[in-house]
Amino acid sequence: MARWENEDLSELDVPDSVKMIIELYDKVGMGCENAKVAFAKRVTTEAEDRTSIRYYVRFSRGELVDPHAIDYNLKTQLSDFKKVNEKSFNQYVKYLETKNRLYFTRSRRLSQEN
């Protein structure tokens, strides 16, 4: 056993580790565990005194992926997650849940505002 293994490090003022929570959504808007089948994700980062939330939606060919229409058979390896704002993310998840094209159109327009 090395001599530094038993040293007291409480006085060093080492910051706590950053906690990251990743929520994934599949093609019907439900939570899932596998990133390969996810179409949207929310990443929450919690530090000591602040919390940040980032939103991502799957893009392919420079456009939002539409799993209920043209991209129903798309291999998710051909697409990547792209950061979007909260409004666009919420509209996209609502589209995944309801399959109402109005929400997809709103999400697509809001994602282009960035």
The mean pLDDT value for 89-105 works out to 95
106 vs 4, 54, 73, 100, CA distance in Å?
58, 19, 23, 11
Residue-averaged pLDDT of the chain: 87
pLDDT higher than threshold 80 for residue 113: no
| Residue 44 vs residues 4, 11, 41, 54, 90: alpha-carbon distances, Å | 35, 30, 10, 7, 15
Look up the pTM and report it. 0.81
| Greatest Cα pair distance in the chain | 65
Mean pLDDT of 65-93: 86
Using N-to-C axis directions, what is the helix angle for 86-98 and 101-111, rounded to 10°? 160
pLDDT tens track for 7-32: 777 777 767 778 999 999 998 989 99
Cα 75 off chain centre by: 18
Please state the domain extents for the chain.
Answer: 16-111
